[in-house]
Every structure is written in C-alpha cells, then in structure tokens.
Structure 1
Amino acid sequence: MKTFRNLLLVAFTLFAAISVQAQTPPVDDNGLAIGGYDVVSYFSGEAKKGSKSYAVKHHGATYYFASKANQNAFKKSPKNYLPQFDGYCAWGVGAKDAKFPINPETYTVIDGKLYLFFNGPFNGEPFNTYQDWAQRTTELKKAAHAKWPKVKNSK
C-alpha cells in the first residue's frame, strides 16, 4: 500500500511539473515564440512542435516550424499565422483585461485567426481558460479585440 501511494505521489508530481512547464510566455527570455510551436500547424488542426532547422526571425522573435513548407508559408505572409493579442491568452485579455501566459496546445482558430489560452494549474487547481471562452466565444472575442489596445500597453 505504501509503495502504491509513493508511486501515485511520483506520478502526480510528474504530471504537475509537466503542466507547469506547459505554460509559456508568448515570447520567452531567449526570444523563442510560442514555446517553439509551429504557428502554421494550428491551421491544419494540430499543434506541432517546430524545429530549429526551420526557424524564422520575425519582429525580434524566433518562430520554429515543423516543415520547410510551413516555414515558407509563414515567410510569405506572417500576418496570416501570427496569434491574436501578440500570443497572450485570449481569455485573459477579454475577461480579465490582462496578459496571461499560454499553453501552446490549447488553442482555437476562428475566422482564420489563431487564439491561444492559459491551461494549467492556478492556485493549486487546474484552470483551462478555453472552457469559458468556448461557452462565451462571441462575447469574449469582441471584448478581447476592444480591450487589446489598452491591455497591450500594460505590464
């Protein structure tokens, strides 16, 4: 019984550590955008990690891509693939007038635009901002776009 409890504790700790690491700023301290995820891949319905082999520098940030084709698509028209709100959590902007980090695997594409979300532990509890966004998409999307000019300039 004690061994099972210890095993369970180790598994929970590993899961929590992975969840915490999943949250990332839109651009980290090294200039890597979206945790190294390929922003073009979202538009095919799957969040994929990119590779240093297919890197593009854009407005001071480095974006990684999973393929040469995705890299070329981004180079041709970056504005078509960049996430809304400079990559901050869309729910945070719309619901809380704030910039939250994101989990690169929690996203949606609406009307050809990429929206990213916080999804991880908050105050010791799991918190997925996409769930509220999905229930109030129209309201929160409108609010986020209206609030972004002010939120963008906040700390």
Structure 2
Amino acid sequence: MKKFNLKTMTASLLLAASSMSFAADIDMNADANDLAIKGYDPVAYFTMGKPVNGDINYTATYKGAIYRFSSESNRDMFRADPAKFAPQYGGYCAYGVTRDKKFDTDPTAWRIIDNKLYLNLNKSVQKAWLENTQAFINQSDESWLVIKDKTVDEL
C-alpha cells in the first residue's frame, strides 16, 4: 500500500485549484461551478415579483454563467433576451460596485428599478442602498466600467 504525504497532497491540490479556470466571464458573479445567483431564477423576479429557486432541468448560459429557471417558459424568455433579465453588474452587489468592489450577493436582497434587476450583499446593505438608489446606480454605472474586467483579488 502506497503512503501519501499530507503536505504533498495539500500542495498539489492547491496548485491544481489555482490553475483551474472557470467558464464564467470575469464580469460575472458565479460560483465554482459557474452557477449564477445561487441558482435563483432571474426571470421570476420580473414575472412573479419574488425570488424563486430555479430547477436544474431548466438552464441557460449567459456570459459563461449558468442560470437556472423555475419553468421552461422562464428559460425561454431569458434565452430570447438575457440582458433584459440578468442582474446588473454581473450579479455583484450593486452597493459594493459604488465602492469599486465585487461582493457576492444574497438573491433575497433584490430590487427591480427601471426594469433592471439589482442585487445586494444582504438585506442590511440593501437598506443603505435603498436610501439613495438613483445616486448609487449612477455611481455604480460609472464604477462598473472601470472594475468589470478586474478580478475580485485585483480590487
């Protein structure tokens, strides 16, 4: 039986993990499996007015990220116009972008403003963001142009 050196195995795994590349574009917030918005259906925010978990049987990709949908019709609407339904700033926290940061989001901390979906880090951050939403959106729109092509580690 071959013995394994724990330090060597750990170093090998870290090296392998650091060399992995994921399909999602750099300007998309997706997990290690390229799943966007934690599997929530982006169309449901618009059609049902609430966050709804997607089903693994209904998926579509956009900018290398995988989106899940609660129904075939929602998937088809997304495929017809993904930019209409995908969250702004690649699904990163709308408030975080005002600070030139790419923060993950809580899919239950959301708002649709001017037919665009915005997500926030959590409901506490969202509360602050809602105090001056239009000013924050204007600031985020400008900041996004600068940070969208940078990795989280570069910010």
Asked whether the two chains share a fold, i.e. TM above 0.5, the reply is yes
TM-score, normalization: structure 2?
0.76
Aligned to 1:98, the other structure's residue is in SS state coil
Q: Which runs of 5+ in 1 are unaligned?
A: 1-24, 120-126
Larger Rg, first or second structure (1 or 2): 2
Count of residues in correspondence between the two structures: 123
Name the structure 2 match of 1:49.
Answer: 53
Deviation at 1:97, TM superposition (A): 1.3
Deviation at 1:57, TM superposition (A): 2.0
> Which amino acid in 2 is paired with 1:26?
N
Q: Where in structure 2 are the equivalents of 1:5-84 lying within 5 Å? A: 26-44=29-47, 45-84=49-88
| Residue 115 in structure 1 maps to residue 118 in structure 2 | yes
Contact in 2 for aligned 1:51/1:64 (Cα 8 Å): yes
Deviation at 1:152, TM superposition (A): 1.2
| Residue 141 in structure 1 maps to residue 130 in structure 2 | no
Aligned to 2:102, the other structure's residue is in SS state coil
Q: Which of 129, 141, 154 is the equivalent residue of 2:150?
A: 154
Name the structure 2 match of 1:93.
Answer: 97
Q: Which runs of 5+ in 2 are unaligned?
A: 1-27
Name the structure 2 match of 1:132.
Answer: 128
TM-score, normalization: structure 1?
0.76
> Which amino acid in 2 is paired with 1:74?
F
> Which amino acid in 1 is paired with 2:67?
Y
Q: Distance in 1 between matches of 2:61 and 2:46?
A: 20
Higher normalized strand content (fraction of residues): 1
Identity across the alignment (%):
37
Name the structure 2 match of 1:20.
Answer: none
Following TM superposition, the consecutive aligned residue runs of length 4 or more in structure 1 with deviations greater than 4 angstroms are none
Q: Which of 103, 108, 127 is the equivalent residue of 1:105?
A: 108
Contact in 2 for aligned 1:41/1:47 (Cα 8 Å): yes
Deviation at 1:139, TM superposition (A): 1.1
* CA deviation string 1:111-150 (max 9, x = no partner): 000000001xxxxxxx721111110112111100011111
